[in-house]
Structure 1
Amino acid sequence: MSNETVTYSLEAVLTRIEGKIDNLQKDVNQKFDQIDERLNKLEVGQAKLTEKVEGIDNRLKSVEGTQKNQVWTLIILGASAIAVAFLTTFSKI
């Protein structure tokens, strides 16, 4: 092996290092921008899902209210039918 000495100026070495650092900084900035964009999309998607869940919740409350009314109507109709049957049975006596 031969020992060859290569000399570079300090300015050239520092310029190369600075260029590499600049390239790395650009890559990091691009990745942060991509992450920020994806995060914004997630936030928009979450807002849409929240809105849909609230809509479903409101519809469920409406259905529950309707079911309660139907149950009470059936109770009243059943009681009325029992009362009519009772009255017709005992009114013949």
Structure 2
Amino acid sequence: MNEPVTVTYSLEEMFARFEQKIDSNQKETNEKFKELNKKLETIQKDVTDLKLGQAKLTEKVEGMDNRLKTVEGTQKSQVWALIALLAGAIITAGARLFFTANP
């Protein structure tokens, strides 16, 4: 039970193995960081595109709002003109009946 443990590898070999593993892990980590950076750049570009699209949509909505105000004003004028025409027609018809009626 108390037999001594013998190591068959030299310290140089052990350190070389550790160094290789560390280098391998470092390369994998660097590659993953590069991939992550590419993905972040893509996301940043997409966000920028979305902001530009949102600005364009906001501009279009403001333009539509202005046109709607113009249409509402025009429509209101047309309704009042129609009311005036109808009132004039009713008054004219009433006046004709009143003045041309023979009792």
Please state which band the TM-score falls in when normalised by the shorter chain: 0.7 to 0.9
- For the pair 1:46 / 2:54, whether they are aligned, the reply is yes
Decide which of 83, 86, 90 is 1:75's aligned counterpart.
83
After superposition, the CA RMSD in angstroms is 1.6
Task: Give, in angstroms, the shift of residue 43 of structure 1.
Answer: 1.0
Larger radius of gyration: 2
Q: Which residue does the alignment assign to 2:4?
A: none
Deviations 1:18-58 (A, max 9, x none): 11101100100110000110111011011101111111111
Alpha-carbon distance in 1 for matches of 2:92, 2:24:
101
Residue 76 of structure 2 aligns with an amino acid whose one-letter code is K
Structure 1 ranges of 4+ moved more than 2 A:
none
- For the pair 1:64 / 2:72, whether they are aligned, the reply is yes
- Normalising to structure 1: TM-score of the pair? 0.86
Count of residue pairs brought into register by the alignment: 88
- Normalising to structure 2: TM-score of the pair? 0.78
Residue 52 of structure 1 aligns with an amino acid whose one-letter code is K
Decide which of 21, 37, 56 is 1:13's aligned counterpart.
21
Residue 60 of structure 1 aligns with an amino acid whose one-letter code is L
Q: Which residue does the alignment assign to 1:25?
A: 33
Unaligned runs of 5+ in 2: 1-8
Residue 21 of structure 1 aligns with an amino acid whose one-letter code is T
Unaligned runs of 5+ in 1: none
Quick one: percent identity of the two aligned structures? 44
